[in-house]
């Protein structure tokens, strides 16, 4: 018969920061694994390059005949409050020794990286475009398609330094959507041009859905990012 | 929160072969979800196996790191998922006990003041002490069935033993545990 006294066995609660520590260790382990794979892949790539050249050419032909050449989407995404104000992040990286893939990301819930309602959660991109096969992703839980018109234009925004693979290399802007403690939704309009299923150019416009105020406009290519931001955007880091 | 990253373009809504850093996010979310469902049970298993509240967090973190790095793409069902996760924690606890024996660290001498305020209650300590008198194999069975609440099949899957072996070990373990808790042994 079951020993009911064991119901009273309560383990000690997790120490503060238990999950953050775990994720830090995960990231460190992943970085180490990536380094190992990179070393191995460089060696293998040299050997494999000649062998796969023909097959790659054929595959590229097949893929390009099936993949769309452009994608145009407008999304309405939730935001979360940071310091009592709705904030979104716009990030872009160009390929470098440390960053293997050039990409542009929008995080409309950056505050989710901290403790929310007593629970530690991970931050995540709501929209990601990367220079990789099928490298476009949206978060379909926090974002839904929108029919609102969001012009892909820089009007009302200030130019930020253009980044290239040899100049700065990345951008990270934190944009306050409104000066009140209300998590307004953000509108993201993205137009991506693809070649063989790989994004080669993306235009991204971000607006506050409630006020329709322009927040950001980014023109991304794998080697160059031109960006414009509202005065409420500040560089992070 | 975000559950999956999906293709904007694919008409068949197939999953994207996303770049590593995007892919990693959905894996993370899946793992977080698994943790939310199992952490309490895993913690009780680790505490019961180790009998040492000070080591639970570290051992659990080692096990979870290992689990995350080897997380399969999918599981056949929830039982398979639970069995896989609990097996990793169980094995990590056994490794810890083995290491402790080698180092002769049966008694922990360091008093962690942070733990004092959030340590287990007296009843739990008494139970942990009684559990510590059981052999590791018996302890694992009684923890999985009587504490975590698994059925015999799932416990058997965790320990990779037969269902009948679970039943016989459990019977012996319960008897020993009652004796350790001060009950009269059955006639």
> Residue by residue, what is the 3-state secondary structure of chain B?
CCCCEECCCCCCCCECCCCHHHHHHHHHHHHHHHHHHHHHHHHHHHHHHHCCHHHHHHHHHHHHHHHHHCCCCCCCCHHHHHHHHHHHHHHHHHHHHHHHHHHCCCCCCCCCHHHHCCCCCHHHHHHHHHHHCCCHHHHHHHHHHHHHCCCHHHHHHHHCCCHHHHHHHHHHHHHHHHHHCCCCCCC
Residue B185 maps to a domain: no
Give the chain A residue whose CA is nearest to the CA of B63. A22
CA-CA-CA-CA torsion sign (A33, B2, A128, A83): negative
pLDDT of residue A95: 81
Closest by Cβ to A136, choosing from B8, B120, B145: B8
Domain chopping of chain A, boundaries: 16-66, 70-235
Residue B13 maps to a domain: no
Contact list in A for residue B48 (CB cut-off 8 A) is 9, 11
pLDDT in tens, B113-145: 444 555 667 888 888 889 999 999 999 999 999
Beta bridge partners of A163: A225
Query: Using CB atoms and an 8 Å cut-off, which of residues 81-140 of chain A contact chain B?
Result: 100-101, 103, 109, 112, 121-122, 124-126, 128, 130, 132-140
Residue B164 maps to a domain: yes
Cα gap B118→B59, rounded to integer Å:
18
pLDDT in tens, A89-148: 888 888 876 677 888 888 877 654 444 344 444 456 778 888 888 788 888 888 889 999
| Average pLDDT rounded to a whole number, residues B16-45 | 76
Q: How many domains is chain B partitioned into structurally? A: 1
Q: Between residues B9 and B46, which one has the greater pLDDT?
A: B46
pLDDT at B5 over 50: no
Average pLDDT, chain A: 81
pLDDT tier, B155 (very low <50, low <70, confident <90, very high otherwise): very high
Q: Cα distance from A41 to chain B (closest Cα, Å)?
A: 15
Cα gap A233→A90, rounded to integer Å:
9
Least confident of B86-90, B109-113, B142-146: B109-113
A183 touches A78 (CB < 8 A): yes
pLDDT in tens, A154-190: 888 999 888 888 888 888 888 888 888 888 889 999 9
pLDDT of residue A218: 94
Closest by Cβ to A103, choosing from B9, B19, B69: B19
Cα gap A136→B18, rounded to integer Å:
7
pLDDT tier, B8 (very low <50, low <70, confident <90, very high otherwise): very low
pLDDT in tens, A49-97: 766 565 665 555 555 555 678 889 999 998 877 777 888 888 888 887 6
Average pLDDT, chain B: 80
Least confident of A133-142, B13-22, B72-81: B13-22
Residue B50 maps to a domain: yes
What ipTM was estimated for this complex? Answer: 0.74
Cα gap A112→B26, rounded to integer Å:
15
B144 touches B53 (CB < 8 A): no
B65 touches A24 (CB < 8 A): no
| Token pair for B108 | 């922990």
Neighbours of B55 (CB within 10 A): 18
Neighbours of A95 (CB within 10 A): 16
| Average pLDDT rounded to a whole number, residues B96-114 | 65
A11 vs B: CB within 8 A: yes
pLDDT of residue A85: 82
Residue A25 to residues A43, A81, B65, Cα–Cα distance (Å): 28, 27, 7
pTM of the model: 0.49
Note whether A9 contacts B178, CB cutoff 8 Å: no
pLDDT of residue B66: 93
Range of the domain at B61: 20-180
CA-CA-CA-CA torsion sign (B103, B109, B111, B117): positive
Neighbours of A67 (CB within 10 A): 17
For residue B149, the domain's CATH number is 1.20.140.160
* 3-state secondary structure labels for all residues of chain A: CCCHHHHHCCCCCCCCCHHHHHHHHHHHHHHHHHHHHHHHHHHHHHHHHHHHHHHHHHHHHHHHHHCCCEEEEEEEECCEEECCEEEEEEEEECCCCCCCCCEEEEECCHHHHCEECCEECCCCCCEEEECCCCCEEEECCCEEECCCCCCCCCCCCEEEEEEECCEECEEEEEEECCCCCCCCCEEEEEEEEEECCEEEEEEEEEEECCCCCEEEEEEEECCEEEEEECCCEEECC
pLDDT tier, B54 (very low <50, low <70, confident <90, very high otherwise): confident
* 3-state secondary structure labels for all residues of A5-19: HHHHCCCCCCCCCHH
| Average pLDDT rounded to a whole number, residues B157-173 | 94
């Amino acid at each position: 018969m079951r020993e009911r006294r064991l119901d009273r066995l309560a383990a000690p609660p997790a120490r503060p920061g238990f999950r953050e520590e775990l994720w830090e260790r995960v990231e460190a382990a992943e970085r180490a694994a990536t380094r190992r794979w990179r070393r191995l892949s460089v060696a293998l790539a040299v050997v494999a390059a000649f062998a796969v050249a023909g097959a790659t050419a054929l595959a590229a032909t097949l893929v390009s005949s099936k993949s769309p050449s452009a994608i145009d989407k407008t999304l309405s995404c939730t935001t979360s409050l940071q310091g009592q104000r709705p904030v979104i992040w716009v990030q872009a990286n160009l390929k470098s020794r440390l960053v293997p893939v050039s990409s542009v990301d929008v995080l409309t819930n950056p505050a989710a990286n901290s403790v929310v309602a007593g629970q530690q959660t991970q931050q995540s991109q709501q929209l990601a475009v990367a220079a990789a096969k099928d490298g476009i992703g949206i978060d379909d839980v926090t974002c839904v398609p929108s029919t609102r018109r969001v012009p892909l234009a820089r009007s009302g925004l200030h130019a930020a330094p253009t980044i290239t693979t040899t100049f700065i290399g990345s951008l990270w802007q934190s944009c306050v959507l409104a000066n009140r403690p209300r998590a307004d939704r953000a509108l993201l309009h993205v137009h991506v041009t693809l070649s063989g299923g790989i994004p080669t150019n993306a235009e991204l416009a971000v607006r506050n859905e409630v006020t329709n105020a322009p927040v950001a406009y980014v023109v991304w290519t794998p080697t160059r990012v031109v960006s414009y931001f509202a005065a409420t955007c500040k560089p992070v880091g | 929160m975000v559950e999956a990253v999906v293709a904007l373009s694919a008409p068949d809504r197939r999953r994207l072969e996303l770049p590593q850093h995007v892919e990693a996010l959905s894996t993370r979310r899946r793992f977080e979800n698994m943790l939310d469902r199992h952490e309490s049970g895993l913690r009780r298993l680790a505490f019961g196996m180790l009998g040492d509240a000070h080591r639970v967090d570290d051992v659990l973190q080692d096990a979870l790191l290992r689990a995350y790095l080897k997380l399969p793409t999918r599981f056949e069902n929830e039982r398979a998922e639970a069995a896989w996760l609990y097996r990793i924690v169980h094995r990590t606890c056994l490794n810890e006990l083995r290491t402790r024996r080698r180092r002769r660290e049966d008694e922990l001498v360091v008093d962690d003041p942070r733990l004092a305020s959030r340590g287990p209650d007296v009843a739990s300590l008494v139970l942990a002490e009684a559990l510590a008198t059981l052999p590791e194999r018996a302890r694992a069975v009684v923890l999985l069935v009587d504490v975590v609440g698994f059925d015999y099949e799932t416990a058997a899957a965790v320990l990779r033993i037969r269902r009948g072996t679970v039943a016989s070990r459990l019977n012996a373990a319960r008897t020993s545990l009652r004796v350790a808790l001060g009950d009269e042994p059955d006639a």
